[in-house]
Amino acid sequence: MTLAAMVALVRGTILALSIGGTLLRIFAVVADFVIGTVLLLGCIYLATHLAVVILGVGKAPFPPVPKDEYPSEPRPADSSKI
């Protein structure tokens, strides 16, 4: 899916750069950039969404947060051991 989006983006860029008029070429390149960005972000979103749906755990609760093993206050260092 993403490979097809990249092929379409490259082909669109080649076609946009082959346009003769300067103003129309600039518009085509900007449009290609915007459409390509939206297309690639859409592919990433769709792939992530499908992965969560296929591999997700459903309505299972999240695992508990692990306990903090280290105190929040730093211990004073013993300078004689350095």
Categorize the per-residue pLDDT at 82 as very low, low, confident or very high, splitting at 50, 70 and 90.
low
**pLDDT at 11 (0 to 100):** 92
pLDDT digits (tens, 9 = 90+) for 26-73: 999 999 999 989 999 999 999 988 888 888 766 777 778 888 776 666
pLDDT digits (tens, 9 = 90+) for 12-39: 899 998 999 999 999 999 999 999 899 9
Question: Is the alpha carbon torsion for 18, 23, 24, 26 positive or negative?
Answer: positive
Structure-token pair, residue 75: 């211990």
Domain extent listing, the chain:
2-55
pTM of the model: 0.58
What distance in Å separates the CA atoms of residue 39 and residue 12, rounded to the nearest whole number? 12
**pLDDT at 28 (0 to 100):** 92
Quick one: 55 exposed, middle or buried, by C-beta within 10 A (0-12, 13-18, 19+)? exposed
